[in-house]
Structure 1
Amino acid sequence: MNIIHVIVLAIIEGLTEFLPVSSTGHLVVASALMGIGKDEFVKLFEIVIQLGAILAVVVLYFKRFFRSIDFYVKLVIGVIPAVIFGLLLKKKIDMLLESPLIVAVAFVVGGVILLFVDEWFNKPTIDDEKQISHLTALKIGFFQCLAMVPGVSRSGASIVGGMTQKLSRKAAAEFSFFLAVPTMFGATIKDLYDFYKHNTISAAEMHQDIVTLLIGSAIAFVVALLAIKSFITFLEQKGFKLFGFYRILAGIVIIILYYSTNVLHTV
């Protein structure tokens, strides 16, 4: 990757991390379009910059992280499914991350669901994180695991999961944001450990890697700061339908490109 690749991918991550459109899916497709090979460092980069974007949640909702111990209990419970399935399916997930076609199919399927989700779950009874039970947090955590398939969208899966449990769109979105913090922190630490454990690199290469990761994370963080509040406002007013149409259109375009050119074939 060169610096242009780093900047472009980080901006895409910051813009899409909290939208129900799959940041990972967009990164996979963008990497293929820019001809970035899927080596181990690129996979690491795409995970680490997600944590950079998600740290924007800690800044914007700083006071919410000091509400109560029970807040953290819910986050721990909610992240348990991702930890279990992530450890069990790590190799399979890494293989899926190389396939734009899988992203495209997930885009279309997820888009169809988003067209109707506002009508399916239109009678919420929970408007605040404090009303979420431990069991509900666990159920939302299982929904979040669907995003291990690139293109599904972590935020989309967990928000819809929250809405199935009677959370309002805003409450579901915010809990999805909170749940992302321990999820992506754990994924980042594990991927960093695995990468540097299994790859022998020089001090100079490690320095360059760290600089690249920091630049990407910083850009994703700043862009995410600008995106989060806009998304919450839009979601409250308009719902999910526009995101559904976008996903379906994007998925169809990716499928056409995949079968009509070699641009999006696994590199």
Structure 2
Amino acid sequence: MEYLIICLAALIGSGLTLFSGFGLGTILVPVFGLFFPIEIAIMLTAIVHFLNNLFKLFLLGKNANRNVVFRFGIPAIAFAFLGAYLLSLLTEMHSVLDYQIENHTFEIMPIKLIIGIVLLFFSLFEVIPSLTNLQFDQKYLPLGGVLSGFFGGLSGNQGALRAAFLIRANLSPQSYIATGVVIACLIDISRLFIYSKEIIIHHNQFDYLLLGLATLSAFIGAYFGNKLLKKVTIKNLQTLVATMLILFALLLILGVI
């Protein structure tokens, strides 16, 4: 069952992220998190996300705006390292609070608490109109890189922030998509460099067949997404997934999962 759920999530998420700040990382982290510890879920998402971005880079990369990539991407790389490093520190911390309900004991772990808060924050971008339509002037592109890189390194969720800053960069639709892909690749490279030690340590917990199928599903979503998904369908799906993301984030914060 997890194969079907994760592959379907990768397919849909990859298709959505072609033309929206909402996409693969937002969907895959909580879906992987249903079957793996949250730190493993983030690493698996990072791998699928990076491979899928390489595929999209091959398809679209020539249309990227180099100036925007430089102004946004350089700060994003640096702060993606910082976010990923913070994640590695959080995985080593003990629980901050234990509580019991009937015969069940729950632990509130720092990593789950922080990731839950981050996921909750980004889910609000999908349900609150003022955040969904948030835009920043071009002069704030480096700040956008800082924020996008940091949260991308920490949790893999940064597409909504990236979109809010890039949408005002006066890019054509093709250049907007391609520039976002290049920046996402840069952030993925940075965080995977930091994650690499943990990936090596926990590699025996990975299901490589599942990882391969999820990546293939993301490829298919990237290729066909723009043709198969209508805008109204995307909006409805965004609302549904955002609601589930809020629930997942709250369960993480409370130590239930």
TM-score category, normalised to shorter length: 0.5 to 0.7
CA deviation vs aligned residue, 1:205-229 (integer Å, no higher than 9, x gap) = 59x74444333222212212223x5
CA distance in structure 2 between the partners assigned to 1:72 and 1:256 by the alignment: 34
Structural RMSD (CA): 4.5
TM, length-normalised to structure 2: 0.64
Amino acid at match of 1:57: K
- 2:111 pairs with 1:111: no
Which residue identity is paired with 1:58? Answer: L
The alpha carbon displacement at 1:75 in A equals: 6.7
Do the aligned partners of 1:17 and 1:53 also contact (CA within 8 Å) in 2? no
Question: Which digits, 9 at most, give the CA deviation of each residue in 1:74-121, with x for residues without a partner?
Answer: 57524334334324522449535763x75345312553234443xx67
Structure 1 residues 78 and 226: CA distance shift in structure 2, 3 A: farther
Q: What residue number does 2:213 align with?
A: 215
Match of 1:77 in 2: 74
Unaligned runs of 5+ in 1: 125-131
Specify the alignment match of 2:25 in structure 1.
24
How many residues get paired? 232
CA contact (8 A) 1:10 1:217 kept: yes
Residue 144 of structure 2 aligns with which residue? Answer: 140
**Alignment gaps of 5+ in structure 2:** 92-110
**Structure 2 partner of 1:226:** 224
Distance 1:147 1:243 in 2: 24
* Equivalent of 1:176 in 158, 180, 200: 180
Distance in 1, matches of 2:249 and 2:71, equals 41
The offset of 1:51, in angstroms, is 0.9
Alignment of 1:4-43 (within 5 A): 4-18=4-18, 19-31=20-32, 35-38=34-37, 40-43=39-42
The alpha-carbon distance between structure 1 residues 176 and 28, as it changes in their structure 2 partners (threshold 3 A), is same
Q: Deviations over 1:171-207 (max 9, x none)?
A: 54432222111211332343234321x34x6xxx59x
CA 97–59 in structure 1, closer or farther in 2 if over 3 Å, else same? farther
Decide whether aligned partners of structure 1 residues 81 and 114 sit closer, same or farther in structure 2, where only a CA change above 3 A counts.
same
Q: Does 1:55 align with 2:54?
A: yes
Report how far residue 40 of structure 1 moved: 5.0
Shift of 1:39: 5.9
- Between the aligned residues of both structures, percent identity stands at 12
Conserved 8 A contact 1:10-1:216: yes
Aligned mates of 2:59, 2:219 — CA distance in 1: 11
1:49 CA displacement: 0.6
TM-score, scaled to structure 1: 0.62
**Given the alignment, which residue of 167, 170, 185 partners 2:170?**
167
Counterparts in 2 of 1:10 and 1:189: CA distance versus 1, 3 Å: farther
SS in 2 for 1:61: helix
What is the distance in 1 between the residues matched to 2:6 and 2:198? 21
In the other structure, the counterpart of 1:127 is none
Asked if 1:89 corresponds to 2:105, the answer is no
1 CA distance for matches of 2:29 and 2:61? 31
Query: How far apart are 1:53 and its partner, in Å?
Result: 1.9
